Structure 1
Amino acid sequence: MKRADDGSGESLELLLDTICNMFGTIIFVALIAALLALTSSRTVHHSSEDVVASERDRVMTRLRTTADELDLELAKYPAAPDVDVDADAVERTTRALGEIKRRRDLIKQYSSALEISRTNLDLMSEQVGPLREEIERIDAALKTAESASSRKMRTPLERELGLNIFVIVVWQDRLYPVCDWTTRNHDPCERLRQWSARFVVASQCSTPRFQCDMSGLDIERRIMLREGAGIPMESAGALRANGDFTAMLATLDPTKDLIGFMVAPDSFDSFAMVKEEVLRAGFNYNVEPYEARLPLYIDSWVQGISRAQ
């Protein structure tokens, strides 16, 4: 077999075709021999085996010869030239690997930041409840402050002339409403001696001076407090939940009535709590210190204005 000078590729293809045809012929002959061996009788069984063995040896010899020829033919072709590694390609590859590493590092950083964010969100969700309660408390305090600041700024005299004064004595950290206006008398003078039997000893209450006519108002009241029976001022929440306190406020009208506090020296500190609850309920109030000895409370009214004695 000879290779053409200008057609080395074509000669190689012809050689491969020849080898393929030869393999096909060998396989076909082997199949025929096998079929003959299977269909022959027992009398010729040994001779058929000899024929098949002889044919197999012949085919193997031809295969070895063909393989040797193929090796000789392939040896004539030069080896593939070494591929020169381009410096730019190396640099591009290096940059690409560096970019991959950088992005992997970024992914790790993002994953770490995401995990921290999730942890922070969990912590924030745990704090939402207390924060909401604190906001509600602040809102309530702001509403109370706005309610107090939105009232008309009038002097005590102007306020008392415009509203009915409901007197509460603050003594031993207890509240003693001296009157009960559940059933309000239409006569404002008679209302001043509608004693609250729950908090005062009605049988020991009197009005030694009681002038109430067109010429003016001049009333003196002497009221015996029922010691220990007053509404306790333990805390704002307890006061707000106290049935006697809420029932007392229910008998009053913020648009018509003003609460006048007479505060004994032993109850100055606790008075602030009562004041906040009164403001929360929407009432105006005034406050005066009461330094006389209790439980006997004495006051006088001149032209609708109360004065402690």
Structure 2
Amino acid sequence: MSRVRRDNNGSSLELLLDTICNTFGGVLFISILVVILINMSSDSARSRPPDEIAQTELMEMQLELQKSQDRIQKLQHVIEQQQSIEKQFVDPDTKNLIRNWTQLNAEVTRLAESKEQTLSNISEDQVLINRVAAESKQSADALASAKEKYSSLQSKLRLEVESRSQTAKLPKLRKTDKNEMVFFLHKQYFSSYARKMGEGIYVPNTNEVVEKTGLQGDYIEPVPSAGIKISSDDNSVQEALEKRLSDFNPDQHYIAVFVSPDSFEQFAVLKNLMVKKGFEYRLEPYTSDQKVYIGPAQNAKNVQ
């Protein structure tokens, strides 16, 4: 409110000064005109006296001049009064306060504009944050779905492994000095290296196993599709296997079975029968590219 009052006072002062200047100019103009008329009338007065109209006009001009001078004095007095009032009400401290308030108001305006710009930037950042949050949520959902699928597949894999696996209890190994009798279990066929010819007499079973000579010595390998084919569903196989094992004495012999990878399932049938008959046995996994060499009797073997 102080600022408005100051602006109104300043405008009034400017209007007053403008009026005084205009009045003073009018007075000067009238004075010059009067002087010119007096000079002209003085020359005319020498020849002839002024008429009544001229005298009347002169008197009116003199009255107007007197009124103008009075107005000038009044206006000067008013100006002095306004200046005095301004000095009384608008002291230097007030002016400083008004100046500071003006500066503060400008600073507030600048800060408000800065705030609006900041809010606009924050709004843009919030839009970006929302988009990133949405993408992050989608990624989290996709990750959760992938984890769920992974858990499901892992469960299925575990069930599949359990369904295709067999639990086996590892037997205890022990040393034996019994004579070793070699058998092959290859492509589901059970063949023996030796056959009984008489009491305590054993000869190579050339119908099922063949002897060969290699760089490291003599070796044996099974004849393809020769021997007893083992099937867990065929009960007649049990009789054939029992008859073949009956040629050997559990107290004198132990059985070494060389099993190829395609016949481990059939070995389970053979193992049960060997244990039932009281034979100790030794399992030797082998592949077709391996050789079973013939040699002199070695030290005691580990059997089950």
With the length of structure 2 as denominator, give the TM-score of the two structures: 0.37
Task: Decide which structure has the larger Cα Rg and report it.
Answer: 2
